[in-house]
């Protein structure tokens, strides 16, 4: 099996990031909305902890999606090279 060239590797990485971002959001949403049975003094008992965690995951997923869409658009506009 041959190795991927640099533009092909960037394209694979961008598509992978584009596919992983919704999975991150789904896991964060499920974790934030599930019932929690922590002790009253524990920070994980507070709903704000889970909301802040979800917002952080939302920011990460948005950054991944925007970065990968930009990379895919940049690759599409670059002229192909023969190697």
DSSP label at 80? P
Q: pLDDT tens across 4-47, in order?
A: 667 778 888 888 989 999 999 999 999 988 888 888 888 888 88
pTM: 0.74
Which is more confident, 20 or 78?
20
**Taking the domains of the chain in order of start, what are their residue ranges?**
10-76
User: Is residue 83 over pLDDT 60?
Assistant: no
According to the model, what pLDDT value does residue 3 have?
A: 64
């Amino acid at each position: 099996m041959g190795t991927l060239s640099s533009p092909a590797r960037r394209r694979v990485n961008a598509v992978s990031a584009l596919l992983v971002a919704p999975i991150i959001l789904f896991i964060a949403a499920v974790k934030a909305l599930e019932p929690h049975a922590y002790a009253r003094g524990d920070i994980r008992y507070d709903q704000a902890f889970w909301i802040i965690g979800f917002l952080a995951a939302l920011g990460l997923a948005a950054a991944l999606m925007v970065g990968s869409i930009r990379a895919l658009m940049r690759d599409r506009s670059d002229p192909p090279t023969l190697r």
